[in-house]
Structure 1
Amino acid sequence: MAIDPRMKKYYKPTSRSSETESSSQKKACVELSPSDINADPGLRKPIDEYDKEIRDQVRRAYLLNGPTQPIGHTFSRKQGDHFRSFQESWFKKFDWLEHSVENDSAYFFYRYLFKQLVTSDKFGYEIFTRHVFNNWRKALDAFKEHMTSPLTQKEMVKACAQETSLVILEELGDKLFSVLINESRDTSIKEQMAMTGHVIETFLSIEHVSDTTTSSLKVAIEGLFARHGLSISRL
């Protein structure tokens, strides 16, 4: 469409190259490359440094490979630790345990995959993930303490919930769906709203609500839909 010369001053000039560039950027998507997966835990890039679009793909790739446990490797002895070394038998006691040949250190496989971002290393939060652990004299105590840590248990529960929700949403896809909402109170006397999918009933989420009025439930449902990328138009 031709533009009246007198009106040109009201239009922002654009070039074909910039339009093409913008279009190609929109079409571009981040893809997971095999080179992104590193078997040695001491050389891995933290999950939070991957693009958000492929983090779940990265987790699945590592889960398929399983923890890195170099069976048959000759573990070096540390002079500063009274010539102690990592013990291969620990892999049988702790199936989550990994060992880095690169830096001769121990890592926690599932914490690497599912740990939440924190702003500090309080209580040794980053041990077995970012910071190396190779104090073999205290290894067994550290491993046992780590597995019984409330923080670790909460991480695992949250990770399982996220993965379960992801599977539910993938199965739902772009299909039409309905919702079934139940109201109850927990032990702390908080109102809760449980939402499930229908016709094949699938539990999706528990939401805390201030009350069970129509407006409160509406806000909770809209927030849940936004968080999971669900469209009310498919309801």
Structure 2
Amino acid sequence: MDKYITSKSPRVRSETASTSMDRSNEVSKCPNDLGMLTTFPAQPQTGIQFPKNSSGRKFSPMWYARFPWLEYSVERDAAFCYACRHFVPDSSFNYDNFAVKGYNGWKRALGDKNKGLELHSHAASHIDAMSKWEERKRRTSSRSTVKELVSNNVYERRHYYVRAIAEVIYFLAVNELSFRGDYDKIAHSESGILPICLVLWHRGTNIYRI
């Protein structure tokens, strides 16, 4: 009967919370030399001595090109999946070697779709994690683009106003005109020439024709 316990069962909620806690504990045990969520997969290539295992096989950095999600931990001499470590759903988390413990069965890493890297790349939870990773990259790229556009717009506006003030001040100085009058309100007849010139400049009027 336990197999058919509904989602409202206290036992199921307890087991779900326990699973999430277990996952957090397992993930915290991952090596420290793997890629963080805000960076990229850890893919060391040069200056690394990849040790051979008992079968005389070792990790090959050439696998990165075929499996962009693949990352290697020098600390543990094991392969991990960047996407599954960060994006695999809790409900699908099954303590996969590529997400927590690390994989080092180099002899079976390639050549068989039912083993090693090929098997992992076709797993449903991995495909879902890859989709979430791609979505995050798109959103991050969009935010960067928007931020860049906003920054450029702010720069252009500041440049516009600085140029306006500089040209108006130059105009007033050359013509020996007073910068301000007795009133601060632009609409007042005795507000001075400076604010009036700024308004005209903003409207595209050539102040040298005044």
Q: TM-score range by the shorter chain?
A: 0.3 to 0.5
Q: Flag the structure with higher strand content.
A: 1
TM-score, length-scaled by structure 1:
0.39
Q: Flag the structure with higher helix content.
A: 2
